[in-house]
Copies of this chain bind each other. A is one copy, B any other.
Amino acid sequence: MNAPPTVPLLPEVKPRQLPPEALAALRERFGPHCVTALAVREQHGRDESAFTHVPPPAAVVYAQSTTDVADAVRVAAQWRVPVIPFGIGSSLEGHLLAVQGGISLDLSRMDRIVAVRPDDLTVTVQPGVTRQQLNDAVRHQGLFFPIDPGANATLGGMAATRASGTNAVRYGTMRDNVLALEVVTASGDIIRTGTRARKSSAGYDLTRLFVGSVGTLGVITELTLRLYPLPEAVSAAICSFPSIEAAVRTTIAIIQMGVPIARCELLDARTVRAVNAHSKLTLREAPLLLMEFHGSPSGVREQAELVQAIADEHGAQAFEWATTPEERSRLWTARHHAFFAALQTRPGCRAITTDACVPISQLATNVVAAVADAEAAGLPYFLVGHVGDGNFHMGYLIDPDNPAERDTAEQLNRALVQRALASGGTCTGEHGVGLHKREFLRAEAGDGALAVMRAIKAALDPLDILNPGKVLLPA
Protein backbone atom coordinates (compact mmCIF):
# COMPACT_ATOMS: atom_id res chain seq x y z
CA MET A 1 0.00 0.00 0.00
CA ASN A 2 1.22 3.46 -0.84
CA ALA A 3 1.73 6.03 1.86
CA PRO A 4 -1.15 8.50 2.00
CA PRO A 5 -0.83 11.48 -0.33
CA THR A 6 1.14 14.30 1.21
CA VAL A 7 0.81 17.96 0.40
CA PRO A 8 4.10 19.40 1.53
CA LEU A 9 4.53 23.11 2.13
CA LEU A 10 0.77 23.39 2.67
CA PRO A 11 0.34 22.89 6.41
CA GLU A 12 -2.31 25.57 6.57
CA VAL A 13 -4.95 24.14 4.26
CA LYS A 14 -7.87 25.10 6.48
CA PRO A 15 -10.90 26.04 4.46
CA ARG A 16 -13.01 28.69 6.19
CA GLN A 17 -16.71 27.94 6.01
CA LEU A 18 -18.79 29.89 3.55
CA PRO A 19 -21.69 31.02 5.76
CA PRO A 20 -25.14 30.20 4.33
CA GLU A 21 -25.97 33.92 4.43
CA ALA A 22 -22.97 34.68 2.21
CA LEU A 23 -24.02 32.05 -0.29
CA ALA A 24 -27.56 33.38 -0.22
CA ALA A 25 -26.27 36.90 -0.89
CA LEU A 26 -24.23 35.66 -3.85
CA ARG A 27 -27.16 33.71 -5.25
CA GLU A 28 -29.43 36.68 -4.91
CA ARG A 29 -26.97 39.00 -6.63
CA PHE A 30 -25.61 36.65 -9.30
CA GLY A 31 -28.43 34.16 -9.90
CA PRO A 32 -27.24 31.46 -12.31
CA HIS A 33 -23.77 32.99 -12.45
CA CYS A 34 -23.15 31.75 -8.92
CA VAL A 35 -22.45 28.02 -9.18
CA THR A 36 -21.88 25.41 -6.51
CA ALA A 37 -21.95 22.24 -8.66
CA LEU A 38 -19.02 20.07 -7.62
CA ALA A 39 -17.64 19.67 -11.14
CA VAL A 40 -17.46 23.42 -11.63
CA ARG A 41 -15.92 23.97 -8.21
CA GLU A 42 -13.36 21.26 -8.86
CA GLN A 43 -12.44 22.79 -12.19
CA HIS A 44 -11.78 26.04 -10.34
CA GLY A 45 -9.87 24.31 -7.57
CA ARG A 46 -7.00 22.87 -9.55
CA ASP A 47 -4.23 24.21 -11.73
CA GLU A 48 -1.04 22.98 -13.38
CA SER A 49 0.91 22.85 -10.12
CA ALA A 50 1.77 19.63 -8.30
CA PHE A 51 -0.69 20.36 -5.49
CA THR A 52 -3.34 17.80 -6.22
CA HIS A 53 -5.12 17.43 -2.90
CA VAL A 54 -6.59 20.81 -2.04
CA PRO A 55 -10.37 20.98 -1.57
CA PRO A 56 -12.19 23.11 -4.16
CA PRO A 57 -13.73 26.54 -3.46
CA ALA A 58 -17.20 26.63 -1.93
CA ALA A 59 -18.69 28.58 -4.82
CA VAL A 60 -17.80 29.93 -8.23
CA VAL A 61 -19.01 33.34 -9.36
CA TYR A 62 -18.78 34.23 -13.05
CA ALA A 63 -18.20 37.97 -13.33
CA GLN A 64 -19.36 39.76 -16.45
CA SER A 65 -18.41 43.29 -15.45
CA THR A 66 -16.36 45.36 -13.05
CA THR A 67 -19.51 45.96 -11.02
CA ASP A 68 -19.95 42.21 -10.69
CA VAL A 69 -16.40 41.96 -9.35
CA ALA A 70 -16.93 44.81 -6.92
CA ASP A 71 -20.17 43.29 -5.65
CA ALA A 72 -18.62 39.83 -5.23
CA VAL A 73 -15.71 41.33 -3.28
CA ARG A 74 -18.14 43.26 -1.08
CA VAL A 75 -19.99 40.07 -0.19
CA ALA A 76 -16.66 38.41 0.58
CA ALA A 77 -15.69 41.36 2.79
CA GLN A 78 -19.00 41.38 4.59
CA TRP A 79 -18.67 37.70 5.55
CA ARG A 80 -14.88 37.65 5.71
CA VAL A 81 -14.49 34.83 3.22
CA PRO A 82 -11.69 34.47 0.67
CA VAL A 83 -12.19 35.56 -2.92
CA ILE A 84 -9.79 34.15 -5.51
CA PRO A 85 -9.58 35.56 -9.04
CA PHE A 86 -9.57 32.86 -11.74
CA GLY A 87 -8.54 33.24 -15.40
CA ILE A 88 -8.10 29.95 -17.24
CA GLY A 89 -6.39 27.96 -14.50
CA SER A 90 -2.92 27.68 -16.03
CA SER A 91 -1.01 28.63 -12.87
CA LEU A 92 2.02 26.47 -12.14
CA GLU A 93 2.35 27.57 -8.53
CA GLY A 94 -1.03 27.06 -6.90
CA HIS A 95 -2.02 30.73 -7.17
CA LEU A 96 -5.68 29.91 -7.55
CA LEU A 97 -6.09 27.02 -5.11
CA ALA A 98 -8.70 27.61 -2.42
CA VAL A 99 -6.44 26.72 0.51
CA GLN A 100 -8.69 28.69 2.85
CA GLY A 101 -11.92 27.96 0.99
CA GLY A 102 -14.12 30.79 -0.23
CA ILE A 103 -15.23 32.03 -3.61
CA SER A 104 -13.51 31.50 -6.95
CA LEU A 105 -14.19 34.63 -9.01
CA ASP A 106 -14.06 33.55 -12.64
CA LEU A 107 -13.12 36.46 -14.92
CA SER A 108 -12.96 34.51 -18.17
CA ARG A 109 -16.25 35.96 -19.40
CA MET A 110 -14.85 39.47 -19.12
CA ASP A 111 -13.20 38.89 -22.47
CA ARG A 112 -13.85 42.06 -24.40
CA ILE A 113 -11.17 44.02 -26.21
CA VAL A 114 -12.24 47.49 -25.09
CA ALA A 115 -10.18 49.69 -27.41
CA VAL A 116 -7.31 49.22 -29.84
CA ARG A 117 -5.36 52.43 -30.45
CA PRO A 118 -2.94 51.70 -33.27
CA ASP A 119 -1.81 55.36 -33.36
CA ASP A 120 -0.59 55.08 -29.77
CA LEU A 121 0.49 51.44 -29.90
CA THR A 122 -1.77 50.62 -26.97
CA VAL A 123 -4.79 48.43 -26.31
CA THR A 124 -7.26 48.24 -23.44
CA VAL A 125 -8.69 44.81 -22.59
CA GLN A 126 -10.78 43.08 -20.00
CA PRO A 127 -8.87 40.57 -17.84
CA GLY A 128 -10.36 37.45 -19.44
CA VAL A 129 -8.94 38.20 -22.90
CA THR A 130 -6.27 35.61 -23.74
CA ARG A 131 -2.94 36.39 -25.35
CA GLN A 132 -3.89 34.58 -28.56
CA GLN A 133 -7.24 36.34 -28.73
CA LEU A 134 -5.46 39.68 -28.39
CA ASN A 135 -2.93 38.88 -31.09
CA ASP A 136 -5.65 37.65 -33.42
CA ALA A 137 -7.47 40.95 -32.91
CA VAL A 138 -4.54 43.28 -33.64
CA ARG A 139 -2.55 41.37 -36.26
CA HIS A 140 -4.45 42.86 -39.19
CA GLN A 141 -3.42 46.29 -37.95
CA GLY A 142 0.21 45.28 -38.18
CA LEU A 143 0.60 45.03 -34.40
CA PHE A 144 1.36 42.37 -31.81
CA PHE A 145 1.61 41.82 -28.07
CA PRO A 146 4.82 39.98 -27.29
CA ILE A 147 4.34 38.40 -23.86
CA ASP A 148 3.71 34.67 -24.27
CA PRO A 149 3.74 32.24 -21.38
CA GLY A 150 3.43 28.68 -22.63
CA ALA A 151 -0.29 28.44 -21.96
CA ASN A 152 -2.81 30.59 -23.77
CA ALA A 153 -3.29 32.44 -20.50
CA THR A 154 -5.57 35.39 -19.81
CA LEU A 155 -4.01 38.83 -19.73
CA GLY A 156 -5.42 39.39 -16.24
CA GLY A 157 -3.68 36.25 -15.04
CA MET A 158 -0.49 37.19 -16.85
CA ALA A 159 -0.46 40.61 -15.18
CA ALA A 160 -1.26 39.07 -11.82
CA THR A 161 1.74 36.73 -12.02
CA ARG A 162 4.07 39.23 -13.75
CA ALA A 163 4.43 36.71 -16.58
CA SER A 164 6.92 36.81 -19.39
CA GLY A 165 7.78 34.06 -21.91
CA THR A 166 9.96 33.75 -24.96
CA ASN A 167 10.02 37.38 -26.17
CA ALA A 168 10.96 38.98 -22.85
CA VAL A 169 14.65 39.18 -23.71
CA ARG A 170 13.76 41.86 -26.24
CA TYR A 171 10.34 43.21 -25.22
CA GLY A 172 10.37 42.90 -21.42
CA THR A 173 7.76 41.26 -19.21
CA MET A 174 4.27 42.17 -18.04
CA ARG A 175 6.01 44.57 -15.65
CA ASP A 176 7.20 46.58 -18.62
CA ASN A 177 4.14 46.27 -20.85
CA VAL A 178 1.21 47.13 -18.60
CA LEU A 179 0.58 50.87 -18.75
CA ALA A 180 -2.56 51.18 -16.66
CA LEU A 181 -5.03 49.11 -14.69
CA GLU A 182 -8.51 49.21 -13.30
CA VAL A 183 -8.57 47.36 -9.99
CA VAL A 184 -11.24 46.42 -7.48
CA THR A 185 -9.82 46.84 -3.98
CA ALA A 186 -10.56 44.73 -0.90
CA SER A 187 -13.35 47.11 0.07
CA GLY A 188 -15.01 46.75 -3.32
CA ASP A 189 -13.91 50.19 -4.52
CA ILE A 190 -12.95 50.61 -8.16
CA ILE A 191 -9.69 52.46 -8.73
CA ARG A 192 -7.51 53.29 -11.71
CA THR A 193 -3.73 53.20 -11.79
CA GLY A 194 -1.38 54.65 -14.41
CA THR A 195 -2.35 56.39 -17.64
CA ARG A 196 -1.92 55.73 -21.34
CA ALA A 197 1.28 57.78 -21.40
CA ARG A 198 4.46 55.78 -21.90
CA LYS A 199 6.07 56.94 -18.69
CA SER A 200 5.02 58.77 -15.55
CA SER A 201 6.41 59.97 -12.23
CA ALA A 202 2.97 60.63 -10.76
CA GLY A 203 3.07 59.24 -7.24
CA TYR A 204 3.56 55.67 -6.14
CA ASP A 205 3.73 53.10 -8.93
CA LEU A 206 0.51 51.27 -8.08
CA THR A 207 0.44 49.63 -11.51
CA ARG A 208 3.69 47.81 -10.79
CA LEU A 209 2.46 46.98 -7.28
CA PHE A 210 -0.67 45.22 -8.53
CA VAL A 211 1.23 43.52 -11.37
CA GLY A 212 2.66 40.39 -9.77
CA SER A 213 0.47 40.49 -6.66
CA VAL A 214 -1.65 37.48 -7.82
CA GLY A 215 -4.93 38.89 -6.62
CA THR A 216 -3.74 39.35 -3.04
CA LEU A 217 -3.98 43.18 -3.13
CA GLY A 218 -6.84 43.72 -5.56
CA VAL A 219 -8.66 42.19 -8.51
CA ILE A 220 -7.59 43.45 -11.93
CA THR A 221 -10.69 44.28 -14.01
CA GLU A 222 -9.13 46.11 -16.97
CA LEU A 223 -5.65 46.48 -18.44
CA THR A 224 -4.06 48.92 -20.85
CA LEU A 225 -1.09 47.33 -22.59
CA ARG A 226 1.66 48.35 -24.97
CA LEU A 227 1.57 46.97 -28.48
CA TYR A 228 4.42 46.75 -30.99
CA PRO A 229 4.54 47.07 -34.76
CA LEU A 230 5.03 43.65 -36.35
CA PRO A 231 8.68 43.59 -37.35
CA GLU A 232 9.40 44.15 -41.01
CA ALA A 233 11.50 40.99 -41.13
CA VAL A 234 11.50 37.94 -38.88
CA SER A 235 13.78 34.97 -39.03
CA ALA A 236 13.94 31.95 -36.74
CA ALA A 237 16.83 29.54 -36.34
CA ILE A 238 17.36 26.18 -34.67
CA CYS A 239 20.87 25.37 -33.62
CA SER A 240 22.10 22.14 -31.99
CA PHE A 241 25.04 22.02 -29.59
CA PRO A 242 27.33 19.30 -28.30
CA SER A 243 26.31 20.08 -24.71
CA ILE A 244 23.89 22.12 -22.66
CA GLU A 245 26.81 24.17 -21.45
CA ALA A 246 27.85 25.07 -25.00
CA ALA A 247 24.31 26.26 -25.77
CA VAL A 248 24.20 28.34 -22.59
CA ARG A 249 27.64 29.85 -23.16
CA THR A 250 26.55 30.85 -26.66
CA THR A 251 23.57 32.63 -25.11
CA ILE A 252 25.73 34.43 -22.57
CA ALA A 253 27.97 35.75 -25.34
CA ILE A 254 24.96 36.90 -27.41
CA ILE A 255 23.61 38.90 -24.48
CA GLN A 256 26.96 40.31 -23.42
CA MET A 257 27.53 41.59 -26.96
CA GLY A 258 24.19 43.37 -26.89
CA VAL A 259 22.66 41.56 -29.87
CA PRO A 260 18.97 42.61 -29.86
CA ILE A 261 17.80 39.01 -30.23
CA ALA A 262 14.01 38.64 -29.93
CA ARG A 263 13.88 35.07 -28.63
CA CYS A 264 16.57 32.76 -27.32
CA GLU A 265 15.23 29.49 -25.92
CA LEU A 266 17.06 26.42 -24.64
CA LEU A 267 15.74 22.86 -24.78
CA ASP A 268 17.73 19.87 -23.58
CA ALA A 269 17.86 16.65 -25.60
CA ARG A 270 15.15 14.85 -23.68
CA THR A 271 12.79 17.80 -23.99
CA VAL A 272 13.48 17.92 -27.73
CA ARG A 273 12.55 14.25 -27.86
CA ALA A 274 9.28 14.92 -26.01
CA VAL A 275 8.48 17.89 -28.26
CA ASN A 276 9.19 15.84 -31.39
CA ALA A 277 6.80 13.14 -30.21
CA HIS A 278 4.09 15.60 -29.15
CA SER A 279 4.27 18.02 -32.08
CA LYS A 280 5.38 15.59 -34.81
CA LEU A 281 8.64 17.38 -35.49
CA THR A 282 12.02 15.97 -36.40
CA LEU A 283 14.34 18.25 -34.49
CA ARG A 284 17.79 16.79 -33.86
CA GLU A 285 17.68 15.28 -30.36
CA ALA A 286 20.50 17.28 -28.88
CA PRO A 287 20.60 20.41 -26.72
CA LEU A 288 19.38 23.23 -28.88
CA LEU A 289 18.74 26.91 -29.01
CA LEU A 290 15.60 28.15 -30.68
CA MET A 291 16.17 31.75 -31.73
CA GLU A 292 14.29 34.52 -33.45
CA PHE A 293 15.48 37.81 -34.91
CA HIS A 294 13.29 40.86 -35.52
CA GLY A 295 14.14 43.98 -37.48
CA SER A 296 14.71 45.24 -40.98
CA PRO A 297 15.79 42.61 -43.52
CA SER A 298 19.40 43.71 -43.32
CA GLY A 299 19.26 44.08 -39.54
CA VAL A 300 17.96 40.55 -39.16
CA ARG A 301 20.67 39.28 -41.50
CA GLU A 302 23.32 41.10 -39.50
CA GLN A 303 22.10 39.72 -36.16
CA ALA A 304 21.88 36.22 -37.56
CA GLU A 305 25.43 36.34 -38.94
CA LEU A 306 26.79 37.57 -35.62
CA VAL A 307 24.96 34.89 -33.67
CA GLN A 308 26.05 32.20 -36.10
CA ALA A 309 29.68 33.22 -35.60
CA ILE A 310 29.27 33.09 -31.82
CA ALA A 311 27.56 29.69 -32.01
CA ASP A 312 30.33 28.32 -34.23
CA GLU A 313 32.89 29.27 -31.60
CA HIS A 314 30.97 27.10 -29.15
CA GLY A 315 30.87 24.09 -31.42
CA ALA A 316 27.38 24.49 -32.84
CA GLN A 317 26.55 21.46 -34.96
CA ALA A 318 23.91 22.74 -37.28
CA PHE A 319 22.02 25.92 -38.00
CA GLU A 320 18.61 25.49 -39.60
CA TRP A 321 16.35 28.33 -40.64
CA ALA A 322 12.61 28.62 -40.42
CA THR A 323 11.79 31.43 -42.77
CA THR A 324 8.12 31.08 -43.61
CA PRO A 325 5.51 32.23 -41.09
CA GLU A 326 4.05 28.70 -41.12
CA GLU A 327 7.34 27.03 -40.23
CA ARG A 328 7.96 29.56 -37.48
CA SER A 329 4.49 29.23 -36.10
CA ARG A 330 4.85 25.43 -36.00
CA LEU A 331 8.15 25.74 -34.16
CA TRP A 332 6.93 28.20 -31.53
CA THR A 333 3.71 26.31 -30.99
CA ALA A 334 5.84 23.25 -30.32
CA ARG A 335 7.93 25.26 -27.87
CA HIS A 336 4.79 26.51 -26.12
CA HIS A 337 3.58 22.95 -25.78
CA ALA A 338 6.88 21.70 -24.34
CA PHE A 339 5.44 21.55 -20.81
CA PHE A 340 2.55 19.34 -21.88
CA ALA A 341 4.80 17.33 -24.18
CA ALA A 342 7.05 16.58 -21.22
CA LEU A 343 4.11 15.64 -19.00
CA GLN A 344 3.02 13.09 -21.61
CA THR A 345 6.32 11.23 -21.37
CA ARG A 346 5.15 9.92 -18.00
CA PRO A 347 1.40 9.27 -17.90
CA GLY A 348 -0.28 10.40 -14.70
CA CYS A 349 2.69 12.48 -13.57
CA ARG A 350 2.70 16.08 -12.32
CA ALA A 351 5.58 18.50 -12.72
CA ILE A 352 7.32 20.33 -9.92
CA THR A 353 8.64 23.21 -11.95
CA THR A 354 11.54 25.45 -11.04
CA ASP A 355 11.75 29.02 -12.29
CA ALA A 356 15.08 30.45 -11.16
CA CYS A 357 16.45 33.48 -12.97
CA VAL A 358 20.10 34.45 -12.51
CA PRO A 359 22.50 37.15 -13.70
CA ILE A 360 23.55 36.09 -17.18
CA SER A 361 27.19 35.37 -16.28
CA GLN A 362 26.02 32.81 -13.71
CA LEU A 363 23.68 30.94 -16.04
CA ALA A 364 25.95 28.15 -17.27
CA THR A 365 27.08 27.17 -13.76
CA ASN A 366 23.51 27.12 -12.50
CA VAL A 367 22.04 25.12 -15.37
CA VAL A 368 24.86 22.58 -15.48
CA ALA A 369 24.65 21.99 -11.72
CA ALA A 370 20.87 21.58 -11.85
CA VAL A 371 21.14 18.99 -14.60
CA ALA A 372 23.90 17.09 -12.78
CA ASP A 373 21.80 16.97 -9.61
CA ALA A 374 18.74 15.71 -11.48
CA GLU A 375 20.76 13.05 -13.28
CA ALA A 376 22.23 11.89 -9.97
CA ALA A 377 18.77 11.71 -8.39
CA GLY A 378 17.44 9.59 -11.23
CA LEU A 379 14.09 11.39 -11.44
CA PRO A 380 12.65 12.07 -14.91
CA TYR A 381 12.83 15.77 -15.78
CA PHE A 382 12.70 18.28 -18.57
CA LEU A 383 14.74 21.42 -19.09
CA VAL A 384 13.65 24.51 -21.00
CA GLY A 385 14.85 28.04 -20.57
CA HIS A 386 14.28 31.62 -21.57
CA VAL A 387 18.03 31.70 -21.39
CA GLY A 388 18.46 35.17 -22.86
CA ASP A 389 16.91 36.41 -19.60
CA GLY A 390 18.93 34.04 -17.41
CA ASN A 391 15.69 32.17 -16.67
CA PHE A 392 15.42 28.37 -16.85
CA HIS A 393 12.88 25.74 -15.86
CA MET A 394 13.65 22.26 -14.64
CA GLY A 395 10.47 20.21 -14.45
CA TYR A 396 10.68 17.18 -12.17
CA LEU A 397 8.10 14.67 -13.35
CA ILE A 398 6.75 13.00 -10.25
CA ASP A 399 4.02 10.56 -9.38
CA PRO A 400 1.98 12.97 -7.23
CA ASP A 401 0.99 10.19 -4.85
CA ASN A 402 4.53 9.02 -4.23
CA PRO A 403 5.92 10.98 -1.27
CA ALA A 404 9.48 9.78 -1.89
CA GLU A 405 9.52 11.21 -5.40
CA ARG A 406 7.95 14.43 -4.22
CA ASP A 407 10.59 14.76 -1.53
CA THR A 408 13.40 14.12 -4.01
CA ALA A 409 11.99 16.73 -6.38
CA GLU A 410 11.65 19.25 -3.57
CA GLN A 411 15.23 18.61 -2.49
CA LEU A 412 16.43 19.22 -6.05
CA ASN A 413 14.26 22.32 -6.19
CA ARG A 414 15.69 23.68 -2.95
CA ALA A 415 19.28 23.08 -4.01
CA LEU A 416 18.61 24.78 -7.34
CA VAL A 417 17.06 27.83 -5.68
CA GLN A 418 19.84 28.08 -3.11
CA ARG A 419 22.39 28.16 -5.92
CA ALA A 420 20.37 30.78 -7.80
CA LEU A 421 20.09 33.02 -4.75
CA ALA A 422 23.81 32.62 -4.01
CA SER A 423 24.41 33.75 -7.60
CA GLY A 424 22.46 36.96 -7.07
CA GLY A 425 19.33 35.61 -8.73
CA THR A 426 15.67 35.07 -7.92
CA CYS A 427 13.62 31.95 -7.12
CA THR A 428 11.00 32.91 -9.69
CA GLY A 429 11.51 34.72 -12.96
CA GLU A 430 7.94 34.57 -14.20
CA HIS A 431 5.67 31.97 -12.55
CA GLY A 432 5.25 33.82 -9.26
CA VAL A 433 5.55 32.72 -5.65
CA GLY A 434 2.05 31.35 -5.19
CA LEU A 435 2.07 28.62 -2.59
CA HIS A 436 5.12 26.72 -3.61
CA LYS A 437 7.85 29.32 -3.33
CA ARG A 438 6.85 31.15 -0.16
CA GLU A 439 9.80 29.73 1.79
CA PHE A 440 12.08 30.69 -1.06
CA LEU A 441 10.71 34.24 -1.08
CA ARG A 442 11.60 34.54 2.58
CA ALA A 443 15.15 33.42 1.85
CA GLU A 444 15.40 35.71 -1.16
CA ALA A 445 13.83 38.90 0.16
CA GLY A 446 14.86 38.60 3.79
CA ASP A 447 12.74 39.26 6.84
CA GLY A 448 12.96 43.03 6.41
CA ALA A 449 11.52 43.18 2.92
CA LEU A 450 8.98 40.51 3.83
CA ALA A 451 7.80 42.67 6.71
CA VAL A 452 7.28 45.55 4.28
CA MET A 453 5.28 43.27 1.95
CA ARG A 454 3.18 42.13 4.91
CA ALA A 455 2.56 45.73 5.96
CA ILE A 456 1.33 46.53 2.45
CA LYS A 457 -0.92 43.46 2.41
CA ALA A 458 -2.37 44.38 5.81
CA ALA A 459 -2.93 47.98 4.73
CA LEU A 460 -4.70 47.12 1.46
CA ASP A 461 -6.53 43.97 2.59
CA PRO A 462 -7.06 44.29 6.33
CA LEU A 463 -9.59 41.43 6.48
CA ASP A 464 -7.28 39.08 4.53
CA ILE A 465 -9.96 38.11 2.03
CA LEU A 466 -8.02 38.58 -1.22
CA ASN A 467 -6.48 35.25 -2.26
CA PRO A 468 -5.29 34.61 1.31
CA GLY A 469 -2.37 32.33 2.06
CA LYS A 470 -0.53 33.09 -1.18
CA VAL A 471 2.85 34.80 -1.64
CA LEU A 472 3.54 35.57 2.03
CA LEU A 473 4.03 32.98 4.74
CA PRO A 474 2.41 33.94 8.04
CA ALA A 475 4.82 36.04 10.13
Chain A residues packing against B (C-beta within 8 Å): 117-122, 161-164, 168, 172-173, 175-176, 185, 189-193, 195-206, 208-209, 211-213, 217, 228-229, 231, 252, 255-258, 295-296, 298-299, 302, 355, 357-362, 389-391, 421, 424-433, 437, 440-441, 444-446, 448-453, 455-460, 471-472
Interfacial chain B residues near A161, Cβ < 8 Å: 201
Tell me, rounded to whole Å, the shortest Cβ–Cβ distance linking A87 to chain B. Answer: 15
Q: Which listed residue (B164, B173, B257, B472) contacts A203, Cβ 8 A?
A: B472
| B202 with A211: CB separation less than 8 A | no
Interfacial chain B residues near A203, Cβ < 8 Å: 212, 433, 441, 445, 449-450, 453, 471-472
Q: Report Cα–Cα, A437/B203, bound state, in Å.
A: 10
Copies in the assembly, this chain? 2
| A205 with B359: CB separation less than 8 A | no
| B453 with A204: CB separation less than 8 A | yes
Known: A175-B205, A208-B175. A199 touches B452 (CB 8 A): no
Q: Which listed residue (B119, B168, B190) contacts A448, Cβ 8 A?
A: B190
Q: Which listed residue (B172, B296, B390) contacts A197, Cβ 8 A?
A: B390
Kindly report which residue of chain B lies nearest to residue A208, judged by CB atoms. Answer: B208
Tell me, rounded to whole Å, the shortest Cβ–Cβ distance linking A141 to chain B. Answer: 11
Chain B CB within 10 Å — which of A162, A424, A437 has the most? Answer: A424
| B359 with A122: CB separation less than 8 A | yes
| A196 with B455: CB separation less than 8 A | no
Q: Which listed residue (B202, B213, B425, B449) contacts A441, Cβ 8 A?
A: B202
| B204 with A359: CB separation less than 8 A | no
Q: Report Cα–Cα, A433/B201, bound state, in Å.
A: 7
Interfacial chain B residues near A211, Cβ < 8 Å: 205
Q: Report Cα–Cα, A295/B433, bound state, in Å.
A: 37
